[in-house]
Structures are given as C-alpha cells and as structure tokens.
Amino acid sequence: MSFLRSFPRLFLPAIVCALLEACADDAADPERSKDAGQRSETAGALYAMMVQVYDTEDRTVYVRLSDSLDLSDGIDLTQAREFGGVANLAAVGGKLLVSSGLEPVITKYDISKELQWTEEDTVSFADYPFSDNANFYYQYILNDATAYMPFDVTKRLIWNPTEMTIEDTLEDSALPLKQGKLMAEVGGNRNSIRFKAAVQQAFFYTDADYFEYAQASVIGIYDPETHQEQKLLTIPCPGLSMASQDEDGYTYYDTWDFQKRALFGEGPKPCIARLKPDLTVDSDWTTDLRDWTDGRYHNNFRYIGNGRAIANVFHQELFDAAWKAGYDPDVGEKLGESGEHWKLWLFDLKARTAKPVEGIDVALSSGAQFAVLDGRTFVFLPYDDWSRTKVYELDEAAARASAPTPSVTSSSGSACAERQRISCEKRMLLASMPAVTISRPPLRIIQSSR
C-alpha cells in the first residue's frame, strides 16, 4: 500500500481514488473475501494498481501489475502501462479490458504469467453519442457475454465484452427526461456492481450546475434476458447516484454530491434508500441516518460487508457558519473542502448504530472509497482539498483505521526521463492506489471511480 505523493506546484481539480470491481464483489461476498488469500496463492494471484497523474488540463493513467500486495519497495512507474485521459478498467473472462480516455474505444488485453501485456482486440463505439467516451464508470457487466452502456440518459447499448462486438441498442423507457427546469442524469456504476439478476440503474434530476436537486430519484429495473425496462421505482431521496449491495441482495442507494443546501434549511435533505431482493422499496428501512449520527447529515454511504457500511458525516458544529441565515454561496463552496468538519463513520446496520472511525490523522473531504482484499478492508480517503489520498486499513470490530506502511511512487525524475509523454515541468500528483486482486483465472479488476 502507499500514501500519495505530491510534486511541487501541486494542482488537482478532482478526486484521485481508483477502485476495481473485485472490491465491490468481495464486499458483497464475505466468504469469498475471507478465503481470497488462500485461493489467490493456489491460483497464482495477480494484482493491478491504478496510478493517476494529474496536470492542469487532464490526467494520465498508469496500470501497474504485481503478483503481490507487498509494495514496500515502492511503485516503479517505468514498469507500468500508460493510458491517456480518463482511462478505466474492467475484467471479463480472464482478460483485462481498458476503456480509452481519449476516444470511445475499448481494448482487450491478455496478461501472461510473466505480467506481459498482449493486445487482442478492440471495439469502437464512435457511432454513438457517448459524452465520456466508453467509460466503464457508467457500465453494467452482466456476464462475460453481456454489458450495458447507457447513453442519452435512458438508452442502452448492449455489447459483448468477450467477442468485443456491439449486439443491440434499446431506447424503451418511461422515464421523463425533465422535471420542470431540472434534467434527468444517469447515476453511473461507481461501485462496479455486477447484479446477479435484474440490472438496477439510478437516475436523479438536477440543474446544469448540480446545485438544485429534485426531492425524488428514480431506479430503473431491466430484465437481464431481454434487457427491456421492467419498471421504474420512485424513491423520495435527492441525487441518488451510487449503489452498493449486501450479501443478501439488498441494494443501498445514496448520493455522491452532498446536499449542502439542507444545512441552511433549504432544498431536499440527504437520505438513503434500500431495495429488497424482490426489487421493491424496503419501507421499514430508515431513509434518514441522522438518528444514528446525533443529528448530522451524511454523504457517500457504502455497504462494505459483514453488516457494516461507511459514510462521510458532516459535523456542522465544527464549521463556522450562520446556518439559519439562508444559503450563502461562499460558505457553500467551502463545505466540500477538507477539514475537521468531515469525519468517516462506521455504521452497524444490524444494531442500527454508528460512530466515528478512530485513528484517521488527515483532514477529510466529503468522499471516500473502499476495497476488500484477501479479507482485509481498506478505505481511501481524499484530503488536502482533494489533492491527495491516504490509504487506511479498517478494523471494523474496533471502528478504528490504521495506515499501512507506506511506499512512495518512483521519483518524478526517473519516471519523466523514461516516459517521454510526461512533462516533468507539469504540476502533477501521483495518486498511488493499492494493488487489487484480479485473480487469474478469472481476471478481476476494480473499476476506476470518477
């Protein structure tokens, strides 16, 4: 594992955490995660680590392969494969798939036992109006032969990630694209869930500035065989864009964008929803976590396994603002910044209790990511106003986090000297992610989060 290392004249406009789909899978299957280490040894484990280098205009993504989670000797970028822009990863049928950050193209690679990359095939989606190329962030992989790629909000392109062919496009939907001046937005698949039955897709309504949100969101349900829209569920929570799923098939929906206006008594309040395995809304599940957080609002709720979840909780008592004076844009801009007002909490869903995680020694922001690797739970916490990320291992029983022994990335000099497409004069950040299980076979990867 490693800390993030910043270079001189640091600049970073966005979060740098990267997670792979294996983490979400292991979190929803504790028996698999518990014995992952033993199986990995016998199967010949392969791990992938994503490193993102930001400059003032865009980013460069590196994928570093390893046979071990031990990165104490550091991360040598000269041994990584480089991809421009917002490249993302997925694993299907023992192959590594990379969605380009520069064009709507996905490339399939075979990874040998010697960690050598062999390009096998590509598929282009240039004939379709994707706003973010063919980013895996938005996609739902049903199985080795079927994946959904949303476009134009409600439309779905069906493609085969094994054959690397486009199979069909579907446009059926009863979802209104507008609610007054608010526009429908697709939530994406931030946690890279692979649904075992019907596919669930979150939609929410917001304005062009992501400032005003509708009170309700919508969950679309799609038949895994015909891929037709089965039904739409209206959920009385704003901005639902992020799903996580537990071992019993319950799906939790929450926001990535903090509903900051609620602090001033304006706009909808943040809340979460839970869908039952039969795809109905669990009306017995609380939508307001303030009963668990001593009246504080939360953001970024994610189920991590074993009946527990994490969320970022805003401690308004530690933030100097006149909450009863109405929304202040200047204050609103500062709410997402790093500071003691944001704390990571651990939620016990069976006991319906929550408490702050101890042992975190950085000032957090409003987001977090997680991974379950070989039965161990790691959280990735952005800090320093989203310019760095620190990795902690979470002791769920004690609600305590500890930072693994860090290993820094290879020096900027050696990296820039051998990778000519990186300018050493750029303002950069190396965001070092922990290696993630992509056991071979089958290959499993964590998808990068936006």
Q: Where are the domains of the chain?
A: 5-448
Radius of gyration of the chain (CA): 21
Fold entry, domain 5-448? Methylamine Dehydrogenase; Chain H (2.130.10)
Q: What is the DSSP letter of 46?
A: -
Does pLDDT of 440 surpass 50? Answer: no
Provide mean pLDDT across the span 190-216. Answer: 94
Rank 88-92, 183-187, 371-375, 412-416 by mean pLDDT and report only the highest: 183-187
Query: Which of 320, 349, 354 is closest to 335 using CA atoms?
Result: 320
Compute the residue count for the chain. 450
Residue 66: exposure state from Cβ atoms within 10 A (0-12, 13-18, ≥19)? middle
Average pLDDT of the chain to the nearest whole number: 79
pLDDT above 60: residue 425: no
How confident is the model at residue 412, as a pLDDT? 35
Could you report how far apart the first and last alpha carbons of the chain are, in Å?
A: 21
**Which of 94-108, 204-218, 293-307, 412-426 shows the lowest mean pLDDT across its residues?**
412-426
- DSSP letter, residue 290: G
Compute the distance between CA of residue 342 and CA of residue 140 in angstroms, rounded to an integer.
31
Q: Is the pLDDT at 182 greater than 80, yes or no?
A: yes
pLDDT at 142: 95
pLDDT at 337 over 90: no
Q: How far apart are CA 141 and CA 302, in angstroms?
A: 20
Peptide bond into 441 cis (omega under 30): yes
User: How far apart, in Å, are the Cα atoms of 228 and each of 185, 199, 232, 240?
Assistant: 19, 10, 12, 22
Q: Are 148 and 171 in contact (CB under 8 A)?
A: no
Q: Which of the four pLDDT bands, split at 50, 70 and 90, describes residue 336? A: confident
* Cα-based angle 140, 146, 148 (whole degrees, multiple of 5): 35
> Percent of the chain at pLDDT above 70?
77
Other C-beta atoms lying within 10 Å of the C-beta of residue 246: 22
**10 token code pair:** 């640091």
* Diameter over CA atoms, the chain: 62
| C-alpha span between 207 and 258 (Å, rounded) | 15
